[in-house]
């Protein structure tokens, strides 16, 4: 069975019959089940891990649909951010932000917009191929203006709550990308690294008193430690713990190269053993301490004289700067201060403080007044004033120790170096470009999430996490210590931060909508637009565009219209009248000009919409060209003509020219319907789609546009929209950057701050922004009276484990910021997919699994089922192609073979009931114990699967189905019923058995449809259903069919059979050899509640002629037994049993021969047999007995006759006889 090909057939069936669309519109008694799709970025190819997550999503959404819920599934695309920018930079060969600005922000962002769709087709194909039903036709797209406008509204709400602020803080900073990162982004990029840590000697200034009687001299040093040597030129203070005990140690003698006799060193008493000297310090009773260290076979030692003091006695001491950098020095710098962040867990108990490169350092510096001076530029290189060979060196590069070596050489040269050692720790790297991050003080915009820790915790407490430990563990701990969200990025392709700052008074405002922005951004001139008055072409219904080859002057009514309009316009005191050069517009303009006392100017760019070949033709012909679809005006261009894209660009160029040429003028523009319409759209920031809601409106900005009427002037609002070079509304950089607002507090101009926002904020707002909330669709997000919101919060979301500090967090953060509580009710976390050896998949290791290859070879359903049943969703998935193959064969192959068995043996047109019908109830009332049992098992599994799926335990649910199909249905019910179908006792029994098996298969298809949608659909339709299984609802729990005692008894019997099979194997008797008797001891039979009605099954399965219950098991050597299980088997082979065994083997040989000859099960044959040797005569006498088992119409015995033809002939040994057989087909 080629499952991949079968899936393609089913996919075509779904497409043709629009099954997905129907599933989202069918009646739903259960109400809505709300799902949020985490948006991928389509600039990278989808991988096998995406198949895992998307399969789980689809399974639950199908399941809920089949439980009677309405499940709408809106797709989404994440389109902004560093990942996209970095890909474009590589493509263009750009290496820095300056390169981008030289290239042009507009051009760069246009490339970024194109790149995000690079692999869109593959994402959509894989989505469809893996049966992940998603509305890809109406996705939310984060770069759309409507989406950005919603994000702006959210930022305005946050600003109004005083939770958005600009601050100077130490932030994780990527020098390669030139931007700060948020804490949740940093969490994505930690790597375990081995780096040198350095122990330093800071020289205290002479003559300072410590404690009662110690005075510092030129050889007194305080020891400190750092894992970031690049921060040492920026050192401005040392920090100690006031209540920590410290040693003042005089070096009496030493063999350590970086410690000299006569020096005094100060360090914490409680540092870890081996920290300074790699060995224990041995204290004597005389206040001395000895240090012994054996290194490379040479013993080194030191003798120290120890005094003990408290940290507070060190506070205020001054020391010499390591580097002579005047910019880092003031009256507060290079002193020892007390700080509560000092510990003795690592280092010396003395913390080197560089205020610009650590959060604790910065806070201490703020408190004290330490110099805030960078020694490192934003490019990650030391600044020019940092001397000693460091200026211009990169401070931290992956696998590059050059700078560190220069620093350590300098420290050694000046006797500031004590020692260095390798230190293993987790260090943050940029989650996209892999550059080591620097903690770097700078101005950034923050959302004050630390003020909402309580609210976040309360919201999280309402969420059901799967697995449960994530709630208070990985996610809960993150919320508990949540940091302020650094949302600003000094980048280009992202949602612009909607913050404007006055150049004069420095006041700040945020814009929460396009409407608000337009109300504050003013044009230099006032524009009055007028369509020409009625002309000849208008009354006669033909097109008059450029060039004007056919006269088209105003009608008499048109002249009157223009005169009336002129009187009204004159009152508006225009400065200029500019008109299209066509006859009807110039005529209109002159009439207006006479009233206003102004001579009109002709402007070619105001000419009519150029319709090329349609010029002078009936207007109906152009409408036919558009297929009477108004939207085609944008893209269908007549021969030698324009479309609306061209016309809008023409109008935009004109608008820009007018704004550059004039200022503070009232300008009347006399033109035509379409040019005026598009000119209005330019000044009002109208989206393309909003032009096309005839005639014409934009819900977004609550503007209503009407198509221009003849000679009716319209005063346009003096608003200026952010427009791209074609005149299309675009809220991105650089178009939004040029808009200056009037300051409400002074006469100054407000300019937008240059930053864009964290890309994770985009996706975090999707519950609101996907609906363009609150400008549209309020009912989808807000409750209305007693009516709940339609699409908030989500009932279910699922993504990989790393999203606990990514999308899961940002969703929660935004929702809590808006006072909405948790944005989701149930969250499932998936583990990562690794290779079969547990290694992360990577190109360098060559172990990446191509999802297309797996799907093409084994089918999508097999991959889905493999992931579902392998282990729980949150566990790591070790992907093995061999295991996938086994899953396909064991489960899908078994299920399909069960269906094929039904197709082969069930009478044509067998009517399969949808529920337990009267005929099936009749089967339950009969004595066929297997029928009763399989119906009970089906009902039990149906209940178990629904219960497990209701609590999001997909692995338990699918494993229950797997066990039912492979163990119960195929390996027990069908195998034990095979003879009933192949050789039915009556037509009535075959009909009953077929209806029952068909019913079980149909219910199995229904139950498994959420997990293996293709195969389930194929079986469902194959069983005669006219509509898709995915439009059906899951069966209710059938308590009436459940028979728990029967299931327990059958389970006990099958367990006993396994033991009996082992006993047979121990005795050396194959199952085909009949045995005389099996017995159970009465005590065991009673304990296990063995039902004698099941003994016939046991006899058939074990090929034993008699089963009894006895008082005690036989001790006869001819019996094999298992006393613990209470089973014994008589292994004596009587002559009759021996012959019976030979006949069973003969049947097998004939069946194998039939199969090898390519014969179908129901094809009848003539069989000729001859046998030589012992028992041969007995075999021939009983040959007629096997006719039914081998589908032989006739069996003849004796040697092959002359001229007799057979399609296959064989010779083989049967016991001690040599048997020949010949087969040929005969008509049924």
pLDDT, tens digit (0-9, with 9 covering 90-100), for 902-958:
999 999 888 888 877 666 766 666 678 999 999 999 999 999 999 999 999 999 999
- With a cut of 90, say whether residue 428 has pLDDT above it: no
Model pLDDT, residue 289: 64
Q: What is the DSSP code (8-state) at residue 800?
A: E
Model pLDDT, residue 695: 42
Summarised one tens digit per residue, pLDDT across range 859-869 is: 999 999 999 99
Which residues make Cβ contacts (< 8 Å) with residue 1079, sequence separation at least 6? 1107, 1108, 1109, 1110, 1113, 1114, 1127, 1128, 1129
Model pLDDT, residue 421: 87
Distance CA 914, CA 937 (A): 17
Model pLDDT, residue 696: 39
C-alpha to C-alpha distances, 938 to 30, 969, 974, 979, nearest whole angstrom: 24, 9, 14, 22
Q: At what angle do helices 954-963 and 48-66 cross, to 10 degrees?
A: 80
Model pLDDT, residue 186: 82
Name the more confident of 694 and 323: 323
| 203 beta partners | 221
User: Which pair of structure tokens corresponds to residue 17?
Assistant: 């019959």
Residue 784: pLDDT band (50, 70, 90) is confident
Residues comprising the chain, all counted? 1228
Distance CA 377, CA 176 (A): 12
Summarised one tens digit per residue, pLDDT across range 1063-1104 is: 989 888 888 899 999 999 888 887 777 778 888 898 989 999
Is the separation of the CB atoms in 642 and 609 below 8 Å? Answer: yes
Residue 397: pLDDT band (50, 70, 90) is confident
Model pLDDT, residue 705: 66
Out of 44-53, 269-278, 419-428, 613-622, which region has the weakest mean confidence (pLDDT)? 269-278
- With a cut of 50, say whether residue 70 has pLDDT above it: yes
Cis-peptide, bond into residue 774, ω within 30° of zero: yes
Is the separation of the CB atoms in 1040 and 932 below 8 Å? Answer: no
E strands, 311-393, are: 335-338, 350-353
Model pLDDT, residue 288: 67
Single out the residue of 82, 419, 472 nearest to residue 277, CA to CA: 419
Model pLDDT, residue 551: 92
Residue 699: pLDDT band (50, 70, 90) is very low
Helices (H) and strands (E) in the chain, counts: 41, 45
pTM for this prediction: 0.87
Is the separation of the CB atoms in 580 and 647 below 8 Å? Answer: no
Which residues make Cβ contacts (< 8 Å) with residue 1190, sequence separation at least 6? 1147, 1150, 1151, 1154, 1165, 1167
Distance CA 298, CA 781 (A): 75
Cβ burial, residue 785 (10 Å; 0-12/13-18/19+): exposed
Model pLDDT, residue 1063: 92
Model pLDDT, residue 957: 98
| 756 beta partners | 489, 496
Single out the residue of 804, 945, 800, 948 nearest to residue 874, CA to CA: 800
- 523-718 classified as CATH 3.30.465.10: no
Q: What is the DSSP code (8-state) at residue 10?
A: H
Distance CA 1014, CA 1107 (A): 45
C-alpha to C-alpha distances, 1209 to 1170, 1199, 1200, 1214, 1219, nearest whole angstrom: 12, 12, 10, 16, 11
Model pLDDT, residue 30: 83
Q: What is the DSSP code (8-state) at residue 1201?
A: P
Summarised one tens digit per residue, pLDDT across range 1017-1039 is: 999 999 999 999 999 999 899 99
Phi and psi (nearest 5°) for 336? -95, 130
Number of other residues whose CB lies within 10 A of the CB of residue 1072: 15
Q: What is the DSSP code (8-state) at residue 283?
A: E
Name the more confident of 398 and 211: 211
- With a cut of 80, say whether residue 73 has pLDDT above it: yes
Summarised one tens digit per residue, pLDDT across range 700-716 is: 444 456 789 999 999 99
Is the separation of the CB atoms in 763 and 807 below 8 Å? Answer: yes
Summarised one tens digit per residue, pLDDT across range 441-493 is: 889 999 999 999 999 999 999 999 999 999 999 999 999 999 999 999 999 99
Mean pLDDT score of the chain: 91
E strands, 348-489, are: 350-353, 417-428, 438-447, 464-466, 485-486, 488-489
Summarised one tens digit per residue, pLDDT across range 28-50 is: 788 999 999 999 988 889 999 99
Number of other residues whose CB lies within 10 A of the CB of residue 1027: 12
Out of 614-628, 651-665, 671-685, 1161-1175, which region has the weakest mean confidence (pLDDT)? 1161-1175
CA 656 to mean position of chain CA atoms:
43
Helix (H) or strand (E) holding 1221: strand 1217-1225
Fold observed for domain 190-428: Isoleucyl-tRNA Synthetase; domain 2 (3.90.740)
Distance CA 1098, CA 1078 (A): 10
Tokens 């190819």, residue? 45
Model pLDDT, residue 292: 56
Distance CA 1115, CA 430 (A): 76
Is the separation of the CB atoms in 295 and 277 below 8 Å? Answer: no
Is the separation of the CB atoms in 187 and 426 below 8 Å? Answer: no
Model pLDDT, residue 283: 62
Distance CA 312, CA 481 (A): 30
- With a cut of 80, say whether residue 302 has pLDDT above it: no
Single out the residue of 474, 713, 458, 680 nearest to residue 570, CA to CA: 713
Is the separation of the CB atoms in 111 and 91 below 8 Å? Answer: yes
Residue 990: pLDDT band (50, 70, 90) is very high
Q: What percent of the chain has pLDDT over 70?
A: 96
Model pLDDT, residue 918: 65
- With a cut of 50, say whether residue 694 has pLDDT above it: no
Name the more confident of 783 and 558: 558
Task: State whether the Cα torsion 559-565-569-575 is positive or negative.
Answer: negative
Average pLDDT estimate for 843-853:
88
Model pLDDT, residue 950: 97
Average pLDDT estimate for 502-521:
94
Name the more confident of 843 and 620: 620
Single out the residue of 111, 118, 114, 112 nearest to residue 45, CA to CA: 118
Is the separation of the CB atoms in 756 and 492 below 8 Å? Answer: yes
Model pLDDT, residue 273: 74
What contacts 24+ positions apart, CB below 8 Å, involve 259-264? 259/302, 259/418, 260/219, 260/415, 262/219, 263/219, 263/220, 263/221, 264/216, 264/217, 264/219, 264/220, 264/221
Which residues make Cβ contacts (< 8 Å) with residue 80, sequence separation at least 6? 142, 143, 493, 494, 495, 756, 759, 762
- With a cut of 60, say whether residue 317 has pLDDT above it: yes
Model pLDDT, residue 179: 84
Residue 177: pLDDT band (50, 70, 90) is confident
Q: Which CATH code fits 880-1033?
A: 1.10.730.10
Residue 281: pLDDT band (50, 70, 90) is low
Domain boundaries, the chain: 190-428, 523-718, 880-1033, 1048-1133, 1142-1225
| 289 beta partners | 283, 304
Tokens 């493999």, residue? 866
C-alpha to C-alpha distances, 872 to 801, 877, 954, nearest whole angstrom: 13, 9, 8
Is the separation of the CB atoms in 1028 and 997 below 8 Å? Answer: no
Q: What share of the chain is helix, strand, coil (3-state, %, to 5)?
A: 40, 20, 40
E strands, 642-783, are: 666-671, 697-698, 703-704, 714-715, 741-742, 749-752, 756-757
């Amino acid at each position: 069975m080629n499952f991949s090909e079968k899936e393609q057939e089913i996919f075509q069936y779904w497409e043709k019959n629009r099954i997905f669309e129907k599933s989202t519109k069918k009646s739903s008694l259960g109400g809505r089940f709300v799902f949020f799709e985490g948006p991928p970025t389509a600039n990278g190819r989808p991988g096998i891990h995406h198949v895992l997550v998307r399969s789980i999503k689809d399974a639950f959404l199908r399941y809920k649909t089949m439980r009677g819920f309405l499940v709408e599934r809106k797709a989404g695309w994440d389109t902004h951010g560093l990942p996209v920018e970095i890909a474009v930079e590589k493509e263009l060969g750009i290496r820095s932000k300056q390169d981008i600005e030289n290239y042009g922000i507009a051009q760069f962002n246009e490339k970024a917009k194109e790149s995000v769709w690079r692999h869109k087709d593959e994402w959509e194909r894989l989505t469809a191929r893996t049966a992940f039903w998603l509305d890809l036709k109406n996705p939310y797209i984060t770069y759309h203006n409507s989406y950005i406008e919603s994000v702006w509204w959210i930022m305005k709400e946050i600003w109004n709550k005083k939770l958005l602020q600009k601050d100077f803080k130490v932030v994780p900073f990527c020098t390669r990308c030139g931007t700060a990162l948020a804490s949740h982004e940093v969490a994505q990029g930690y790597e375990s690294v081995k780096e040198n840590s350095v122990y330093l000697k800071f020289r205290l200034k002479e003559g300072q008193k410590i404690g009662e009687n110690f005075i510092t001299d030129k050889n007194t040093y305080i020891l400190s430690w750092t894992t970031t040597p690049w921060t040492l030129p920026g050192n401005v203070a040392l920090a100690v713990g006031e209540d920590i005990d410290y040693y003042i140690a005089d070096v009496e003698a030493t063999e350590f190269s970086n410690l000299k006799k006569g020096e005094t060193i100060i360090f914490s008493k409680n540092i870890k053993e081996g920290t300074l000297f790699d060995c224990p310090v041995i204290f004597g009773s005389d206040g001395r301490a000895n240090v012994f260290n054996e290194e490379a076979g040479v013993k080194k030692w030191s003798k120290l004289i120890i005094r003990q003091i408290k940290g507070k006695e060190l506070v205020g001491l001054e020391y010499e700067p390591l580097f002579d950098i005047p910019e880092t020095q003031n009256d507060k710098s290079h002193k020892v201060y007390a700080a509560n962040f000092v510990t003795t867990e690592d280092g010396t108990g003395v913390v080197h403080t560089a205020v610009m490169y650590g959060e604790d350092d910065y806070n201490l510096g703020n408190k004290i007044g330490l110099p805030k001076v960078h020694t490192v530029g934003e490019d990650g290189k030391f600044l020019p004033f940092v001397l000693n060979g460091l200026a211009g060196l990169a401070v931290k590069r992956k696998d590059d120790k050059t700078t560190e070596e220069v620093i350590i050489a300098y420290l050694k040269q000046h006797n500031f170096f004590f020692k260095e050692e390798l230190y293993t720790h987790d260090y943050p790297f940029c989650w996209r470009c892999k550059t080591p991050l620097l903690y770097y003080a700078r101005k950034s915009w923050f959302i004050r999430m630390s003020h909402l820790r309580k609210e976040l915790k309360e919201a999280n407490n309402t969420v059901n996490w799967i697995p449960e430990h994530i709630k208070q563990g990985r996610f809960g701990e993150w919320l508990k210590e949540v940091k302020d969200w650094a949302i600003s990025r000094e980048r280009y392709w992202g949602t612009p931060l909607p913050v404007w700052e006055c150049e004069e008074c420095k006041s700040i405002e945020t814009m929460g909508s396009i409407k608000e922005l337009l109300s504050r951004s003013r044009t230099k001139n006032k524009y009055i637009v007028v369509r020409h008055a009625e002309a000849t072409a208008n009354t006669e219904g033909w097109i008059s565009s450029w060039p004007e080859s056919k006269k088209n002057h105003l009608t008499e009514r048109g002249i009157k219209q223009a005169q009336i309009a002129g009187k009204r316009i004159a009152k508006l005191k225009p400065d200029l009248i500019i008109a299209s050069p066509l006859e009807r517009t110039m005529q209109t303009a002159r009439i207006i000009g006479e009233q206003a006392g102004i001579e009109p100017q002709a402007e070619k760019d105001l000419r009519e919409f150029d319709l090329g070949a349609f010029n002078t033709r009936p207007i109906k012909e152009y409408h036919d060209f558009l297929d009477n679809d108004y939207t085609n005006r944008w893209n269908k261009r007549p021969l030698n003509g324009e479309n609306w894209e061209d016309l809008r660009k023409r109008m935009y160029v004109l608008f820009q020219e007018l704004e550059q040429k004039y200022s503070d003028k009232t300008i009347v523009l006399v033109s035509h319907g379409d040019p005026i319409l598009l000119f209005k759209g330019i000044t009002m920031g109208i989206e393309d789609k909003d032009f096309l809601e005839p005639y014409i409106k934009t819900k977004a900005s609550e503007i209503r546009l009407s198509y221009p009427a003849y000679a009716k002037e319209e005063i346009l609002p003096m608003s200026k929209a952010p427009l791209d070079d074609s005149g299309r509304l675009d809220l991105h950089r650089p178009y939004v950057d040029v808009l200056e607002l009037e300051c409400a507090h002074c006469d100054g101009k407000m300019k937008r701050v240059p930053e864009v926002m964290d890309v994770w904020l985009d996706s975090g707002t999707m519950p609101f922004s996907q609906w363009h909330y609150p400008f549209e669709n309020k009912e989808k997000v807000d409750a209305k009276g007693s009516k709940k919101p339609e699409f908030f919060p989500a009932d279910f979301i699922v993504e990989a484990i790393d999203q606990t500090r990514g999308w899961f967090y940002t969703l929660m953060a935004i929702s809590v910021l808006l006072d909405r509580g948790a944005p989701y009710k149930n969250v499932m976390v998936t583990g990562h997919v690794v290779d079969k050896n547990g290694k992360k998949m990577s190109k360098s290791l060559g172990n990446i699994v191509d999802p297309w290859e797996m799907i093409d070879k084994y089918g999508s359903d097999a991959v889905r089922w493999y992931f579902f049943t392998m282990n729980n969703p949150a566990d790591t998935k070790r992907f093995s192609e061999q295991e996938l193959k086994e899953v396909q064969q064991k489960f899908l192959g078994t299920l399909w073979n069960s269906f094929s068995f039904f197709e082969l043996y069930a009478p044509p047109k067998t009517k399969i009931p949808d529920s337990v019908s009267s005929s099936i109830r009749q089967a339950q009332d009969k004595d066929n114990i297997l029928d009763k049992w399989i119906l009970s098992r089906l009902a039990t599994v149906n209940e178990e699967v629904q219960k497990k799926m209701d609590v999001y335990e997909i692995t338990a649910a699918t494993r229950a189905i797997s066990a039912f199909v492979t163990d119960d249905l195929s390996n027990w019910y069908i195998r034990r019923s095979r003879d009933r179908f192949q050789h039915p006792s009556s037509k009535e029994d075959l009909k009953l058995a077929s209806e029952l098996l068909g019913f079980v298969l149909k219910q199995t298809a229904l139950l498994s449809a959420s997990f293996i949608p293709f195969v389930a659909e194929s079986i469902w339709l194959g069983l005669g259903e006219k509509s898709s299984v995915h439009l059906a609802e899951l069966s209710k729990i059938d308590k009436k069919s459940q028979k728990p005692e029967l299931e327990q008894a059958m389970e006990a019997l099958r367990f006993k059979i396994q033991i009996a099979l082992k006993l047979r194997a121990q005795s050396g008797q194959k199952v085909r050899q009949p045995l005389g008797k099996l017995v159970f001891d009465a005590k065991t039979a009673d304990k296990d509640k063995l039902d004698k009605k099941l003994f016939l099954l046991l006899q058939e399965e074990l090929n034993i002629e008699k089963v009894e219950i006895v008082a005690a098991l036989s001790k006869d050597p001819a019996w094999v037994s298992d006393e613990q299980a209470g089973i014994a088997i008589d292994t004596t082979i009587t002559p009759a049993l021996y012959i019976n065994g030979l006949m069973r083997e003969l049947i097998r040989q004939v069946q194998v021969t039939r199969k090898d000859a390519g014969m179908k099960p129901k094809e009848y044959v003539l069989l000729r047999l001859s046998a030589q040797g012992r028992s041969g005569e007995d075999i021939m006498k009983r040959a007629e007995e096997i006719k039914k088992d081998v589908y032989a119409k006739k069996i003849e015995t004796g040697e092959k006759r002359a001229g007799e033809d057979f399609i296959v002939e064989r010779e083989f040994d049967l016991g001690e006889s040599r048997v020949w057989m010949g087969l040929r087909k005969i008509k049924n």
